[in-house]
Structure formats: C-alpha cells, structure tokens
Structure 1
Amino acid sequence: MERPPVVSDDEQNGPRTAPPGLSGLARRRLLGAAAAVALGGVAGSGRADAEPDRVGARAAGTAAPEAGTAAPAAPPARTPAPPATRAAIRALYVGTYTSSGGPGLEVAVYDPVSGSVHRSTALSTVADPSFLAARGSDVLYAVDENQDQVTAVAVAGGAPRVLNSGGTGGSGPCHLTVHAAGGHLLTANYGSGSVAVHRLAADGSLGRRTDLVRHTGSGPDPDRQSGPHTHMVLNDRTGGFVLAVDLGTDTVYTYRLATGTGKLTGVSTAQVTAGSGPRHAAFHPSGRHLYVANELGNSLTVCGYDPDSGRVTHGTSLPTVPGGGGSAPNYPAEVVVSADGAFVYVSNRGHDSVARYAVGAGGGRLRLLDAVASGGAYPRHIALDPSGAWLFAANQNSGTVAVFARDEATGALTPAGTPFAVTAPVCVLPQ
C-alpha cells in the first residue's frame, strides 16, 4: 500500500544542544532478556536491541501477582443495566506493535454502561503506533516508533484515514501530546533523548517541524542510562509550561513554548533519585503536585510543582506494589489520576498489576492501598475513560485490553467481563 505523504524537513535546523556519543545508544533493552517474547501468539521481531517494552519481563500469557499482593476491596455490586444505545457507544483506540504482529491502529468501540469492548476496524498503514494522542474527537496522532516519525489520522465521520506524517528529527519516538494551545504537537524521542515540535494545520495535519531540543547527560545504570532518553512530554495544568521526563538523565525538564515561533525555551530542571529512571508523570488536579513513575526504581515519586514558575521539587517516593515488591523489577509504566484527585493508579509490568493509591494533603501525600491483577501480562499502558467509571489496561504480552469498573467512592477496581483480544497492545485511548 502506498505510504502517506511525509512532511519535508529539508530547510529545518538541526537539534540544539546536541551532546556527543549518542550513536551507540541501545533503545530500551530489557535487562536479562535472552530472546523476544511471543506476543499474542505471534513471534517477536528478534532484533538484537529489543526494547524492554517490546520484550516483557515474563513470558506471554497471564501471570498471577506475587504472593502477598492485597486484593482490592470489593465495591458494591453494580445493578445490571441495559446495553447502551448506538448513539452512546464511544470510540476506543488501541496502539499496537505491527512489527510484533499487531494490527496497527485498532479502532474499537466500548459501551459506557457495561464497559464491554467490540472490534470495529484497524488502520494498518501506521507502523508501530506505540503511543496515541487526540485533538478533540476528530484527529489522532501516533508515534511511528521504528520509523522515527509521527502521523496524523483523521477519525471523524467514517473510516480512519492518514492525513500525513513527519519526521521527528530523532530516534525512537515513544510519546506525544498536543500542546495546550492546540497549535503544536510535541514528541518525545527516546533513542536520541530529544523533544520535537511540529506545527499543526487547521485540519489537524502536520506542518513543518519548528524545533528540536536534545537533552544531555547520563545516569548510573550503564545499560539504560548511558545517555538521555526522553520518555514523555506533557502540559502542565495551566497550559503555561511543557514538561519532559527523561529516563536516561533522571531529570524532569520544564520548558515554555512560544506559540508564535514554535520554539522551546528551557525554564528549569529537577533531578529525581539517581538511577530511578523516570518514565511517565501525571498532575494532580490542583496543579501543585506531580506524580512521577520510575521505571528503574520500582517507585512513584510525589513532587511539588509551582504553576507560576514551572519548577518541579523532588519529594517522597513510594513502592508500586504492596510490601515493596522485593528485588524483582516491576518496570512501572503509566500513572493516571482520577478527575476528583482522590486516587492515583500505576501499572506494574513485572508484577502484572495496577496499583491504587489514596490521595491526601491536597495531593501532597499518597498511600498505597492495593495492587489488582491487570487481567493479562505486562500492562504497558492504562487509561481512564472520560467519565472515570472505567479503567482500561493494555497488556502487551498477553495480547489483551482488560476493562475494570472503578468505584468512584473507594477507587477500587473490579474486572468487567472478558478482556478484549488484540495482538501487542501498548497504548489505549478511550474517548
């Protein structure tokens, strides 16, 4: 099939503040992995530099949580409700690894009354869309992780179609977000440790790349932190600042984006615990606290945040499984916060679970309540639907997207029905 049009970068400037010695970076290798793991019955790619997100800590298939994991308190039984009408059915987008046999961008639907998920269609022309972001309900953006580009997809009014694609100027793009003002797309390049900015057209298609800022430095882990590895970029709650989370340098960077020029200006940096490998982060609704999931440190850190200056302050770190989890790596991946700010959830890929925390002190204090089995193996990504009633978990190595009913009062998660089967799911985006 013909490739979508690609935005030219011919006249763009190269990356700023580029450090030496980045060409030999291994891209998210899993410690101790001997071979690619079968994903959903399809053999892995077999690449020598297999990423830990591509090669799970456990073999494919569901695995029970470790002994001692607390089961969540059972919420009150839900009264069975009639199926939702067609008008109430909502979209559920799933990003998968096509290089591991996934369908590409899986476009499904879910019932907001029962939580049941049904397949709709798939867009296979987007390769390895390992992270997705939406601009309203009409356009999706996907990283093409192994093609070093991002793609805009129109999803309104019928079958999804590719608008265009653009190079990120770096390697291994793994995360992206639409800037709060709506006119730019920001992308985190894991392999090269950089942040790219693309201008967005009125129809949502990608314009020219306006900036590329590369981080410098390293961390104490020789395998995972030999150089910078930007793993996430996100807006703060006011839209005034952009934060970039870098696993390789144990740093959260704060930038300001000039919407006229599309250029990033560095504002401040915050170091987390050396060797912890910060991966993803999420804000408390107050906008004054940031929760950072540490992939290498098996922990979640509560940071302070000043919305006026954009400054992040390192705070207390907590384990992501009951009892601390021992010495086994858990590779905490995604962190999400309920809209009321009362609960925080983190996915544990080694432990195959979703941790639940109660929030106190206006967002400044967390208490680990339990960790419920994720409904599959290696939950790389979790997401709450807009109502907050359902949590979806993309279990990469078992080829399942599990659905959990979420009790609003207690935050407890209860499995809802049979997990949705799709090969190599790594991102789930409910609308």
Structure 2
Amino acid sequence: MTPEVDATDVGRADVGTVGGPRRRRAYIGSFTSAGGPGVLVADVDDRSGALTVVGGADDVPDPSYLALAPDGRTLYAVSERTAGAVAAYRVTGDQPELTGPPEAVGDGPTHLALFAGHVLTADYGSGSVTAVPLRPDGALASPASGTLRHTGSGSGSGPRGRREPRAHQVVPDPSGRRFLAVDLGTDSVRVCALRDGVPVALDETALRPGSGPRHLALSPGGPDGSYVYVLNELLPTVTVCRWNALDIPLEPLGETPVLADAPEGDAYPSGLVVSPDGRFVWTATRGTDVLSVLAVEGDGLRLVTTVPCGGHWPRALAYAAGTLYVANERSGDVTWFTVDPHTGLPVRAGSIEVPAASCVVLGTL
C-alpha cells in the first residue's frame, strides 16, 4: 500500500464515484512554537495550481509533517516536540477534526507514513521508528505497538563530527512488503518490515561517512525494482541507489552535487521529489535558498540548474499536475512554481503567507 497520497501520483481533478468532480486539496503543516497556524487546509485551483486557504486547526502543537490516507479522508500529523506524538484528523470538510487524542511516539518525530495498517513515525530525537496501529475507520488505536531503536553512529569533520542515531524519514516501498528508514546520524538507510506490529530492521546500507542522509524518494518504477534517490543534508548531494525490494539491500551507485558551488556550513538540503515520468528530480536547499533541477540520465543524475526558492529556508517540496510547491519556513510562505515539462525548469507563479511553514501534502476530496 502507498504511505500517503504521494505528490508525484496526484493528477488533476477527477470524477468521484459519488457527486461529480473531486476537489483538489493541499494540507500545510507548520511550527506553532514559531508562530505557525498549525494545520491549514487549502483548495488547489485545477488550472493554475494556486492555493486558497479554506480552513485549519491549531489543536496539535508543531505539526511539522503530514501524511494523507489513500482515500483522502484522514490526515495524520506528527507533533515535533521532545515528547513526540502523532494525531489523526478527519478532513472531509474544510475544518480538520481530531478523531481522538494524539498517541505518544518517540522524541522529536520529524516524519510519518502509512504502512500495513499502521502509522509509522521517524523519531529524530530518540533515533527510532515507532508503529501505531490504525482502526478500520483510520483513527489511531492505542498504544503504539512497537519501536525500533537505531544503533550505531555516523562520522564527519568539525561541527559535523561523530553523531548518534537520528531517524529522519520513513518511506514504504511500492510492493508494500518493506519500508525504508533514513537515519541522518548513522549515515545509513535501513530496510525494515513490520512483524506483529513491531518495526524490525532487515538490512542497513551505509552511505558516505559524514553525508547525513535526510530524505529519499523512489523513482516511479514497478514494485519489484526502482531507483532510490537519497538527499544528504550534511553534504549537499544526492546518492543514487538501485533497489529491488525483494532482494532487500540497497546498492549505492554514485553521488551528484545539488549545488554547483556550496561552502561547507552554508548549505543544508531538505526535501526532494521525483517527476511522475521519472525524468527529473527536484531538491531544496536551505541557506542558499534554492531549488535544484537534476536530470535523470541512466543510472545517475546531472545537475541542470538552480533557481531561487521564492523565500527563505525551504523545508519541504511537493509536486502535482505540473506545479511544484515549496514550504519556506523562515520567510513564512508556501510558494508554487509552474514546471516546464520538457526542461524541468520551475518558474515562480504565486505564494500564500503561512508562518513557519514546514510541509505541503497534496490530495483530492
């Protein structure tokens, strides 16, 4: 099963089984501790991709990352606090409604995904992955059914030296058999599974020491094989891996810089998405505040160009129907770009104000 309505799979408005055309929606997370509004709901214009805020909820602190159920009716949010939690919202209307109290997970969760009847969280502070079971209606079932604590450490130089486990992202594979856990602290990606509701590690792929992998995205291949693009936060590169989910291990093939020139300490890559046709990868980099366009060429990537992100400190990206969305945390806005389908080049088209914006998730209702 897919973890959420993935940005690369969302098309233009379609016709639902009941009641005519479905509405395209965007859900925006933000840091309430920095003045953010919590979770915002926005309508997406089918022609231009423009966003119009129609509702929101501020009852969960620091909902920094969101995931949407495949049917578009339930939205899940981490609460990125030291005592972390995950919450489920019903989003059949303009105002998100909690389905029940948030459930405790690990410390400082930064990402979440749906997998095998559970919601998984990547707990940055405790270096762990937590599984919380779901009820048939999509609500959370308490308590958490299991936790996988990462072990090991990463290495680097200077302030980016030896590091402890820092789980940053969880991504199910297309087959639904495995999920990938990205750990910035151990410079590695783990291939994992759920056994009786408990996350377990099956294999671990070491990446370049000091790279600090943050997020990854899979190419739009079939369930038995695809490329995995791993964005490294501490070294501004993308590591390309080949992966067959049935064979378990990832095979690193090489790295590609996301910037033509980036002084160490001034560039912190954050998010990436892959185009639906698999021809382009887009990344965001904080500090330099740019979007990078990378062309897929065989088993590797080629940096085509960079463009300004439209704000300051771009934290996350999302893509749908020819439009690329950027959550700019420190300038407090979500900016969207029209993407040329032939060159992959994003052209700024508009923005809305969202203080402390942290992520955008796209879907239909």
- TM-score, length-normalised on structure 2? 0.88
Map 1:21-420 to 2 at 5 A.
Answer: 89-136=23-70, 137-146=72-81, 147-179=83-115, 181=116, 183-208=117-142, 209-221=144-156, 225-258=162-195, 261-286=196-221, 287-321=225-259, 323-361=260-298, 364-385=299-320, 387=321, 389-417=322-350, 419-420=351-352
Q: For the Cα contact (< 8 Å) 1:296–1:329, is it kept in 2?
A: no
* Higher strand proportion: 2
- Secondary structure of the structure 1 residue equivalent to 2:294: strand
Partner of 1:26: none
Note if 1:425 corresponds to 2:341: no
- Secondary structure of the structure 2 residue equivalent to 1:99: helix
| Deviation string, structure 1 residues 9-34 (Cα, Å, up to 9, x no partner) | xxxxxxxxxxxxxxxxxxxxxxxxxx
The residue type paired with residue 311 of structure 1 is P
The residue type paired with residue 150 of structure 2 is H
For residue 406 of structure 1, report the CA deviation from its aligned partner: 1.2
The structure 1 segments of at least 4 consecutive aligned residues displaced by more than 6 Å after TM superposition are none
What is the alpha-carbon distance in structure 2 between the residues aligned to residue 265 and residue 103 of structure 1?
Answer: 36
Partner of 1:77: none
Q: For the Cα contact (< 8 Å) 1:319–1:325, is it kept in 2?
A: no
Q: For the Cα contact (< 8 Å) 2:294–2:304, is it kept in 1?
A: yes
- Secondary structure of the structure 2 residue equivalent to 1:376: coil
For residue 304 of structure 1, report the CA deviation from its aligned partner: 1.5
What is the alpha-carbon distance in structure 1 between the residues aligned to residue 341 and residue 176 of structure 2?
Answer: 27
What is the alpha-carbon distance in structure 2 between the residues aligned to residue 357 and residue 412 of structure 1?
Answer: 10
The structure-2 alpha-carbon separation of the partners of 1:169 and 1:371, relative to structure 1 and needing over 3 Å to count, comes to same
- Secondary structure of the structure 2 residue equivalent to 1:164: coil
What is the alpha-carbon distance in structure 1 between the residues aligned to residue 108 and residue 333 of structure 2?
Answer: 24
What is the alpha-carbon distance in structure 2 between the residues aligned to residue 374 and residue 430 of structure 1?
Answer: 19
Runs of at least 5 residues in structure 1 that lack an aligned partner in the other structure: 1-85
For residue 328 of structure 1, report the CA deviation from its aligned partner: 4.7
Partner of 1:59: none
The residue type paired with residue 146 of structure 2 is D
What is the alpha-carbon distance in structure 1 between the residues aligned to residue 175 and residue 353 of structure 2?
Answer: 37
Q: For the Cα contact (< 8 Å) 1:96–1:424, is it kept in 2?
A: yes
Partner of 1:9: none
What is the alpha-carbon distance in structure 2 between the residues aligned to residue 412 and residue 129 of structure 1?
Answer: 30
For residue 407 of structure 1, report the CA deviation from its aligned partner: 1.8
For residue 303 of structure 1, report the CA deviation from its aligned partner: 1.1
What is the alpha-carbon distance in structure 1 between the residues aligned to residue 95 and residue 38 of structure 2?
Answer: 14
The structure-2 alpha-carbon separation of the partners of 1:345 and 1:198, relative to structure 1 and needing over 3 Å to count, comes to same
| Deviation string, structure 1 residues 98-131 (Cα, Å, up to 9, x no partner) | 0001110011112020122112112010110000
Equivalent pairs counted in the alignment come to 336
The residue type paired with residue 426 of structure 1 is S
For residue 232 of structure 1, report the CA deviation from its aligned partner: 0.3
Runs of at least 5 residues in structure 2 that lack an aligned partner in the other structure: 1-19
- TM-score, length-normalised on structure 1? 0.75
| Deviation string, structure 1 residues 257-295 (Cα, Å, up to 9, x no partner) | 23xx21223211000000110000011112421100000
For residue 159 of structure 1, report the CA deviation from its aligned partner: 2.2
Q: For the Cα contact (< 8 Å) 1:353–1:371, is it kept in 2?
A: yes
- Secondary structure of the structure 1 residue equivalent to 2:253: coil
Q: For the Cα contact (< 8 Å) 2:129–2:199, is it kept in 1?
A: no
What is the alpha-carbon distance in structure 2 between the residues aligned to residue 89 and residue 391 of structure 1?
Answer: 18
Q: For the Cα contact (< 8 Å) 2:229–2:239, is it kept in 1?
A: yes
What is the alpha-carbon distance in structure 1 between the residues aligned to residue 198 and residue 22 of structure 2?
Answer: 40
